[in-house]
Chain A
């Protein structure tokens, strides 16, 4: 086998290993457009009861039933769609029994994908709305999520029918440096949080003699599930992206590091790797060329800090997940001391569309410095919770109020536990790496948690500081001790025992922790505190005066039931976690001795009979 050298073009040497993409495509088109009923069975769908729906469908009908990934609108799950008689796909929402389910809208299976693919002509529906006109979908532009919810995730022929592996085929006839150049020109930046230019990272790794590729699927940010959805719904898109990356930097081995809390994603990726190998897209002599590359799955074990690239590398090597000092960066000295490219799941899933449609396509989306699209998980106090993909530059307000249809928003938390809370008044900010940083937050990996009047901002800041304190690996002093001290101080404030000087102390500590910590965890951990202090300082002051305006901080609120308003329905008693509510003469009463001030009764009462004071 000829030795690979820079600038040399691949030779097609193994005819027996050549892959017939056209044949796979035909097979995939047959499956995608035959009559079928598709059920979304990602983790979110399953939690909403999709498996029960699936069972029922299987027992009642002999139709061809497909299990697909997440279509995005998780609030309406279980989602089921039907394709029959040459018609487009008709989606039903909140399916318990298919006969009784309500129609959400219809779509053409190919219409979300930016890749030009062959498909039959399907007839639309006049009597139902189009999905692309639904407020949730109207402003979305799908690149990463192009196949999610459309294809059966482990059917490689359907992936190919949607344009899969054409990009790999294309780059195998390109020079590695040209591939890197293409990615550089596209302006793609890392989607794992920091936004480092991907092409540049690849260039550095190649110059150092690139050895390994890693896909960071640790997704430790609570409230975020973009990466899980991509891995569960379209694993080949990530595998193809990694294979292209390996070719570009000259790596022979790759790793997907997935968190253990995502058992379904782990299983899908493991199976997808096996299938890709069997079809000649991984392993020796990929697609009949002299290029060889293989991927292994390494599992995380429940440590947030392992999402940090150097800690992740330590974890794969079989050590505890302690970050290492950078530089040297992984692209210079990474896994087992060798140059390693580590990119996020979403970054990898962007690669094939860039290659296939050209860098201009990608660069035409987004803002001057933030190109392309971003996937977000829109959760919290918002009507349309779900997974969305929007062009960079869209305003947070459009995302939260138009797509999410949220009302009475107080703040939006971006960037995960070490991100910041952006108040409603500033929601016109464009989604863009630099713009979000200016507001004291970060883009992060894509969790958007919407908060309303029922959320206490001091409590939120406490929650995140506690999170970072617990997840701190403990290696460096500012992070380990500083965060502990900060949690104690803010705890005092939420109990109404704080003073104004505690706020000052918190600010000082925040400065030290942010500037003196070793890794990104400590450096960004003060963000939630700093942004809530910047935009909601008044709430801190009210706590110091002994009031929690949102009624969340337990030490500062009490509950009682107004007899005249109580209808005796008993919902409060059923939902009291402390068994503090009992019926006395056909109305309910709270026992103040037992009450833990959690507010459960307050939020479940339909008659406003529970009073907070």
Chain B
């Protein structure tokens, strides 16, 4: 059984965004008007209509992480120029379910718990120099 949302998620994870021709293909495949595919693509947070950068950074803005001060990470990203850098895509997320290790940051799909500004800054500078995050950025 195929679900529209599952298919869109597959495209999103393959390209990092939803290209227009793929949306048209989905519209035909599921036999639903393109307007509905588009409304779905804009309603759900997981989708983006623009290409994403080389590195994807998520900061958790869930309750447990905010209580433990995760909001300053966004300030750090801003200060480091990450928010305007095309190589980076930043998206806040509401909870990864790793709340016991709050505050949580996810970089290129890997979850890092008990994050500090210091550690985040080091990891980002590593990313700007080479392309893999490594844990010696501790």
| Chain A residues packing against B (C-beta within 8 Å) | 43-44, 46-49, 52, 74-75, 77, 219-225, 228-229, 260-262, 296-304, 315-316, 318-321, 377-381, 385-387, 413, 416-417, 447, 449, 451, 455, 460, 463-464, 467, 473, 571, 574-579, 596, 598-600, 603-604
Known contacts A222-B64, A301-B47; decide if A318 and B96 are in contact (CB<8 Å): no
Q: Are B72 and A577 in contact (CB under 8 A)?
A: yes
B34 on interface, CB distance cutoff 8 Å:
no
Question: Of the candidates A75, A299, A460, which one forms a contact with B6 in the assembled complex, judged by CB atoms under 8 Å apart?
Answer: A299
For the complex, what is the distance from the CA of A575 to the CA of B8, rounded to whole Å? Answer: 39
Q: Are B100 and A377 in contact (CB under 8 A)?
A: yes
Question: Of the candidates B60, B73, B111, which one forms a contact with A577 in the assembled complex, judged by CB atoms under 8 Å apart?
Answer: B73
Q: How far is the CB of A36 from chain B (nearest CB, A)?
A: 25
CB contacts (< 8 Å) of A381 on chain B: these are 67-68
Question: Of the candidates B65, B111, B116, which one forms a contact with A46 in the assembled complex, judged by CB atoms under 8 Å apart?
Answer: B111
For the complex, what is the distance from the CA of A502 to the CA of B96, rounded to whole Å? Answer: 35
Q: Are B112 and A221 in contact (CB under 8 A)?
A: no
Q: Which of B9-23 contact A (CB under 8 A)?
A: 9
Interface size on B, residues (CB 8 A): 54
B93 on interface, CB distance cutoff 8 Å:
yes
Q: Are B45 and A301 in contact (CB under 8 A)?
A: yes
Q: How far is the CB of B86 from chain A (nearest CB, A)?
A: 22
CB contacts (< 8 Å) of B112 on chain A: these are 47
CB contacts (< 8 Å) of B64 on chain A: these are 222-223, 379-380, 447, 449
Q: Which of B65-111 contact A (CB under 8 A)?
A: 65-69, 71-73, 75-76, 78-79, 93-102, 104, 111
CB contacts (< 8 Å) of B67 on chain A: these are 223, 380-381, 449, 451, 455, 460
* Total CB contacts across the A-B interface at under 8 A: 177
Q: Are B3 and A385 in contact (CB under 8 A)?
A: no
Nearest B-chain residue to A451, judged by Cβ: B67
Q: Are A75 and B100 in contact (CB under 8 A)?
A: yes
Q: Are A598 and B3 in contact (CB under 8 A)?
A: no
CB contacts (< 8 Å) of B73 on chain A: these are 577
Can you name 10 A-B pairs with beta carbons within 8 Å? Answer: A77-B101, A296-B1, A299-B5, A300-B44, A301-B46, A318-B30, A379-B100, A447-B99, A574-B117, A600-B72
B129 on interface, CB distance cutoff 8 Å:
no
The 5 A-B pairs at the shortest CB distance, nearest first, are namely A222-B62, A74-B100, A302-B45, A577-B76, A301-B44
Q: Point out which of B5, B32, B61 has the most chain A C-beta atoms below 10 A from its C-beta.
A: B5
Q: How far is the CB of A488 from chain B (nearest CB, A)?
A: 19
CB contacts (< 8 Å) of B40 on chain A: these are 318-320
Question: Of the candidates A46, A220, A377, A603, which one forms a contact with B99 in the assembled complex, judged by CB atoms under 8 Å apart?
Answer: A377
Nearest A-chain residue to B122, judged by Cβ: A574
Q: Are A578 and B79 in contact (CB under 8 A)?
A: yes
Q: How far is the CB of B70 from chain A (nearest CB, A)?
A: 11
Question: Of the candidates B46, B69, B97, B116, which one forms a contact with A225 in the assembled complex, judged by CB atoms under 8 Å apart?
Answer: B97
Q: Are B62 and A47 in contact (CB under 8 A)?
A: no
Q: Are B95 and A318 in contact (CB under 8 A)?
A: no
Q: Are A224 and B99 in contact (CB under 8 A)?
A: yes
Nearest A-chain residue to B96, judged by Cβ: A261
Question: Of the candidates B8, B45, B76, B98, which one forms a contact with A44 in the assembled complex, judged by CB atoms under 8 Å apart?
Answer: B98
Q: How far is the CB of B1 from chain A (nearest CB, A)?
A: 5
For the complex, what is the distance from the CA of A156 to the CA of B61, rounded to whole Å? Answer: 36
Q: How far is the CB of B26 from chain A (nearest CB, A)?
A: 10
